Amino acid sequence: MNNAQYFYRTVIYTKKNNEVGLVDINQPDNVTPLDEWLGLVVSLADGAHSIQELLDYVSSRYASAPDNLEQTVHSVIERLQEGDLIKLSESPVTLPYYLAEPLEALDLDEARKLIAEDGYTVH
């Protein structure tokens, strides 16, 4: 995996009580929780940061980063790609309004309008 690539989410997410989950904007109470690693990467997948920046950020949270940190992060990214929850890009990506922030930060009517205009398919 090329750590210079940028990673970005393709799903709408929610972040409540430090827990990240996937959410259907049309049924906001229907949340699919993500495990801690998957949730962390989805919440940080803003299209403006590279995998290397993600690695640097995660390693800064440890007093001494685990030896297998890069392998773990790559594995998480691969799992999220397989589920079509994130994608990789050679250059930064600007996310549409409805993917840029957690559900709680969105104007739901505006987000739904833009989703319809863009033809975005809810995952």
Mean pLDDT, range 103-109, rounded to an integer? 94
Asked if residue 107 lies in contact with residue 22, where contact means CB atoms within 8 angstroms, the answer is no
Start-to-end CA distance of the chain, whole Å, equals 25
The residue ranges of every structural domain in the chain are 6-118
**Structure token digits, residue 6:** 């940028």
Strands 86-89 and 46-50: unpaired
Residue that wins the pLDDT comparison between 63 and 76: 76
- Is pTM, for the whole model, over 0.75? yes
Scan for tokens 């990789």, then name that residue.
88
pLDDT at 65: 66
Mean pLDDT, range 5-20, rounded to an integer? 93
pLDDT at 123: 56
Asked if residue 104 lies in contact with residue 15, where contact means CB atoms within 8 angstroms, the answer is yes
